[in-house]
Each structure stands twice: as structure tokens, then as C-alpha cells.
Structure 1
Amino acid sequence: MEDINEKILWEGYGLRFRGGTRTRTGLICRTDMGLRELKKPRGSEESLYLAFDVKEQLRKNGFRNISRFYRTLEGEPFYRYDSVLYTLEDVMPSESLPEDSADTFLRGAEVLGQMHHGARGLQSEAARWDGERLPGLYAKRRSELAKIRRRNDKRRNYDAIDLLLIRHYDPFMEQAALAEELLRKGGYQNAVDRAAETGAFCHNAYKGEALRQNEKGEIFVGSFDKCSSELPLADLARYLRRYFKKTASNAEGVAKMLENYGKHQPLSAGDLTILQGMLIYPEKFLRLVNEYYNKRRACVSPAMQERLAAAAKEEENGRILRDIVKKGC
């Protein structure tokens, strides 16, 4: 294995490998130019090109608590070896930001606002903005759910997951339809156009394991390999949901999260309406339902049943969060 790493570092980056230490995220390499972390990213080539441009823009605008990608000898942000992609990055602090208190989420919300603000001016050839993407996805998933329900009704031979779907079908269909309407009312398409023009991105993995803190308590952001051209509000919605799930949160805490984020990335009335749509949309439940039925239901997996039941319960938080944000508008 060391021979492979040595070859990647030398052929890809012109660095001498002096040994390494395996971590959960990759391999911390000692090289003739200092410490670097070699990783196998989870994203596609396109997302990695976008991630490289995002990081460069963030650093340019003063947001430097990130692990930059090092270019290969050929100028690429990743190296391909035996059809596998590798990235070489700065070594991040080892301590993850805990998600066991409201305070850490409040700090994380402010850093999220700083990061989103730091993307201003971003222009990338890898960006793929689509003002119909999210409304289209919401409508598609709602249509798929209706088809699944009709097929199940024709069979009249329900298993445990069929019954779980029937129990939650009406409220989640209503939530999905309301989410589409809120995106429309908030001006989603216009917001996407503005984001593309002014520079923006969505991290898509902003949570505790992607956030690290050093001995001074400074927060660093990693895991950019799945970022995309989407409204930054999607990151905020997911982080609010995670905050509500992980802590004994309340309306005051949610308001403080929005305040901390808005210090750096102000939220307009339209933004808050779009945010409500993202919060109330039962994304996790619909995704898991689609995953289960697309596998043609070979068997009723207890694990999938538990995941769906947990997701259904979690979607209750979306309704509560949407009501909190609505009252605060």
C-alpha cells in the first residue's frame, strides 16, 4: 500500500513520501514538503472541479479555515490512479466539532454564514445552475409517491412498509405540495439566478464530522467533495434540522441560529419563505421510500423499516421548524 501512496505522491504531485498515518478520512503523509492528507473523495469529477474553485474563492475572500486542494503536476485538482480519484489536501485539525449542545450549533451557524458569504464572486466552469431543479425534484418525488400508493392499492396485499407508507401518505403529500408552493412564493428561480450571478454554492455535508476545531477553538470546514450549484439555503435548512434533532431546541434557539447565520449572510423575506419550503419538505422519508420500492421489494428489511419509521418521526421536526420560521418572519 505504501508503494501505491509513494507512486501517487511522486507521479501526481512531485512529492517524496516519508511515511504516513491512517485516519478515518484518509492518509496523513509525511513528505519532503511537509504534512499532506491523501484522500479518496466521494464526489464526482465535476463536483471536485467545483470544490476546487469554491475553495480558491473562499480563500481569496478571507475564509481560510478550510483544507485546500493541491494541484497535480498537470494542474488538476485530483489525481487518477487505476480509475480511482485522489485528492491531496492540507491536514485538518483532528478534533471534530461536537453536536451535543446548542452552543456548538450556534457557533456552526455563524461559520456557515461566513462561508456562504465568502463565496461571493465565485465563477466556475463546473457550476450547473438550474432554476427548475429543486421544484422539479419535489414534484417528481410527489408523483412517484402517488404511483407507489396506487400500485400498492391494486395489490391489496400489504407488508409492514406498505402500511407505514399508508399511515404517512396524506400528511407527507400535503407537506411536499406545500414545499413546492413555498418555493414558488419565495421566488426560487429568481433566487437561483441571483446566486449564479453573484457567486454561491451549497456544501451538502455541513455537519459535525465535517467541522473541526483547533486548540484555540477555531472552526475549520472540510468535506467539500460533494458541493454543488444550489442555493446556500439548502445547507442552512439541513443544519437547522440537525440542530433540532440533536438538541433540546426551541423557538428561541432557532431564532438565534438564524441571527448568527444572518450576521454574515443576510436573509430576505423571500429567502425565509424558500427556507420554510426546504424545512417542511419530507426529503429523507421520500428518498428512502423511493430507494425501497425501486429495489422491487425483494424482502421487507427490518433495517429499512426502522430507517423509514425514524425518518417519518424526524419529518415532524420539519413541520415544527417551518412554523417557527414562519412566526418569526
Structure 2
Amino acid sequence: MNDRAVALLEQYEIEVLRTRKGRGAILCDTQRGCLIFKEYTGREEQLRLQERVLKHLEEQGTVPAERLLATKEGALSVTDRDGVRYILKTWWEGRECNIRDREECMEAMRLLARLHGDLEFTPVFPETEETSAPVIERYLPSRDYEKRNRELKRARRFLKQRSQKTWFEIRLSAVIDPFLEEARQLCEEWKEIELAASDSGEEVPLCFCHGDYQYHNILRQDRGFFLVNFEKCQADGPVRDLYLLLRKLLEKSEWDAEWGRVLLAAYESVRPLKPYERQDLVYRLSYPEKLWKIVNFYYNSGKAWIPEKNQEKLDRLLEQEAARKKFLKLLQR
């Protein structure tokens, strides 16, 4: 980030004492504490939603989280002469949540449950002549997974047509069909559940989620945890966050079923899952997302040289598959 970008800080009601480089951003020591100034590539509507969610969390006072700061004119972002946009947020100096520390992982689960307890609300947006309230659409998992299934099918067709295959491609060709069939069946069941829910006419509370709740975005300091990077927050159920963190932690532990039970119990000690949320969690964990990621990276990369890392990830996935199925059975009891 260059000096021109730093000059944009003059548009904020702050006194910058010192700046230093962070991860793709500028950390600013100010009279209001440490702030972070970083590029923003999302939509304005998403930024306004993020600001409203974070403001609501601050009002609740339960979960320490970042806040977006507005300019002197009330704008949530600033733009340099090259058209690059930036946002300014509060920041805590700290380290990421230690995924090898089981106590910290359980604490992160309990914090997530408190976060979800605060994010069941209907946001009110101030409207002006220039802006209207963002349109909030509920997330439908089947839409994402239908798209992913189409991508898996394209990759399978490509593999079948490829005459000379590497060892990775031979291995992937041999295992992709059962995963794709599992993905197709799950997507069909998901659509039926979504259709039944819409036909029931029952009013489902509007609930938001962090959208990217993983250890990189859970910072630890002496005062406790601090949540950052809400850029992906959206109107999806709490299971989106729970699924993401649970899957990542279980992958690191070879899908240890007992550890998964302990993590889920930590979450439910604060916020018990509703029956439909538990079903949602089973479906998300059942979808072969890890395989889709491996296939998507392979299909959209150059084929002249396939990184050895691809083979390692596929081997690890296949080694963990029996343990993953075991945990899913435990979850459905």
C-alpha cells in the first residue's frame, strides 16, 4: 500500500500517530487506538450490511468484534485516484486462535454460540436520497451446491476425454464418480427441504452469520478473543459458521469423532441447536466440499505441470473418508 493510500486517512476524524505494514494492509496507531486500513473489493450494499451487523454487535456488548469507521462525510469507504477502494476498521494486536490448543478451540466454539445468539435480528438501515436499504435475501444452500455439482461434472468430462493422464488424474478419475453421486443426491434432498420450508408458510427468524469463522479471523489477546473480517457476513443460518470451523478442526484431527462431539457440546452449552439446524449441519458436513476444492483448483489451473500438493491433498482426503463417515453417523443419532 503506497503513500497515496495513506493520504486518504485525512478523510477520517482521526489523528494518525504512526503507520506500519500489516498483512496486505496498513496498521495505524491513533488517538482512538490501533486501526487497520485495507483494500475493499466488495459491493457497497455488502459494506452497509457489514456495518449494520457490526454496529448491532457493539450495541449488544456480548462479543468483542471489529467496527467499521466512517469518514467525516459519513462514507464507509474511500477511493484513490486509480479507483481502488479502502475501508478503515478497529483492530486488536493479537495472535490467531491456536488450533492445537483444545481449550482455545472449545472457547472459540462458545464464543461462536454467543455471536449467533446476538445475530438473530432484523436490521434497520437509514435511508437517504442517495441510498436505499440493501435487499437481504436468505441464503439457499442448494444454489451453491448445484453450481459446484456442475463444476464437478465438467471436470469429470474433461478427465474422461484426456488421453494421457498423470498419476493424480488417474487417481482422481477413479474416485470422482461416487463423490459426485453423493453430492447430487444431497443437493436434491436439500432442494426438497427448502421447498417444504417455503410451502409451510412459517416465519423463519432472520439470522446472520460471520461468513468466514475460522481461526485466522479469531484473534487472541490478554483481554480474550476479538473477531475480525466480517466482509462475508450474510443472512445465512448459524450452521454456516459452525460447519466451517468444525470441519477445519476435524480435518486437522483426522476426523476424531470424540473430539467433534466435544466441540459440538461446547457450542451447545451456550446455544443448543434446533432440530432443523442439526439436520443442516449433517447435510453441509456430508457434502464432499474438500473434493470439490481439489477438483476446482485442478480444473482451473494449468495442466502442463500438476503440483505434488494436489496428490497429497487427495490422498489425505481419501485416508480420512472412513473417519468422516463415522462422525456423520454419530451426529445423526
Q: With structure 1 as the length reference, what TM-score do the two structures score?
A: 0.84
The Cα shift of 1:325 comes to: 0.9
Amino acid at match of 1:83: G
1:129 paired with 2:123, answer no
Shift of 1:115: 0.7
Which whole-Å CA distance do the structure 1 matches of 2:61 and 2:34 have between them?
23
Percent identity at matched positions?
Answer: 24
- Displacement of 1:188 after TM fit? 7.9
Q: Contact conserved, 1:93 with 1:220, CA < 8 A, in 2?
A: no
Would the alpha carbon gap of residues 20 and 178 (structure 1) be closer, same or farther in structure 2, given more than 3 Å must change?
A: same
TM-align CA RMSD = 3.1
What amino acid is aligned across from residue 137 of structure 2 in structure 1?
W
Q: Distance in 2 between matches of 1:9 and 1:200?
A: 34
Q: Give the match for residue 288 of structure 1.
A: 294
| 1:29/1:141 CA distance change after superposition, 3 Å | closer
Judging changes above 3 Å, is the alpha-carbon distance between structure 1 residues 18 and 188 closer, same or farther for their aligned structure 2 residues? farther
Equivalences for residues 1-329 of structure 1 within 5 A: 3-11=3-11, 13-24=12-23, 26-41=25-40, 43-81=42-80, 82-123=82-123, 125-126=133-134, 128-130=136-138, 133-181=140-188, 183-184=190-191, 187=194, 190=197, 198-216=205-223, 218-247=224-253, 250-295=256-301, 297-313=303-319, 318-327=324-333
Q: Relative to structure 1, is the Cα distance of residues 178 and 322 closer, same or farther in structure 2, using a 3 angstrom cutoff?
A: farther
Distance 1:32 1:195 in 2: 49
Amino acid of the residue matched to residue 129 of structure 1? E
User: What's the secondary structure of 1:198's corresponding residue?
Assistant: coil
Alpha-carbon distance in 2 for matches of 1:107, 1:195: 34
Q: 1:318 to 1:228 in 2, by over 3 A?
A: farther
The offset of 1:69, in angstroms, is 0.7
Contact 1:101 1:247 in 2 (8 A): no
Residues of 2 paired with 1:321 and 1:24: CA distance?
Answer: 36
Q: Secondary structure at the match of 2:182?
A: helix
Cα distance between partner residues in 2 of 1:210 and 1:41 = 17
Which digits, 9 at most, give the CA deviation of each residue in 1:247-291, with x for residues without a partner? 476434323322322344331222111111100111132133134
Could you tell me which amino acid in structure 1 is paired with residue 298 of structure 2? Y
Q: Secondary structure at the match of 1:152?
A: helix
* Secondary structure class of the residue paired with 2:68: coil
* C-alpha deviation, 1:98, in angstroms: 0.8
- Aligned counterparts of 2:192 and 2:324: Cα–Cα separation in 1: 18
CA distance in 1, matches of 2:301, 2:234: 27
Find the aligned partners of 2:301 and 2:239 in 1 and give their Cα distance.
32
Segments of 4+ in structure 1 off by > 6 A?
193-196
User: Partners in 2 of 1:213 and 1:189 — Cα distance?
Assistant: 42
The answer to whether the 8 A contact 1:67-1:90 is kept is yes
Q: Deviations over 1:51-81 (max 9, x none)?
A: 2111111122233401111112232222222
1:73-121 Cα shifts (integer Å, max 9, x gaps): 2322222223222221222131322111322211111111111111121
Contact map agreement 1:188 1:274 (CA 8 A) in 2 = no
Deviates more, 1:14-23 or 1:296-305: 296-305
23 and 307 in structure 1: CA distance in 2 versus 1, 3 angstrom threshold: same
Shift of 1:233: 0.7
Separation of aligned partners in 2, 1:43 and 1:195:
33
- Count of matched residue pairs: 323
Distance 1:88 1:196, change over 3 A: farther
Distance 1:127 1:165 in 2: 41
Is the 8 Å Cα contact of residues 280 and 322 (structure 1) preserved in structure 2? yes
Deviations 1:136-167 (A, max 9, x none): 22223223323432343244433333212222
- SS of the residue 1:121 aligns to: coil
SS class of match (1:324):
helix
**Structure 1: distance between partners of 2:272 and 2:122:** 18
- Change in 2 beyond 3 A, CA 1:48/1:195: farther
Counterpart Cα distance in 2 of 1:149 and 1:36: 47
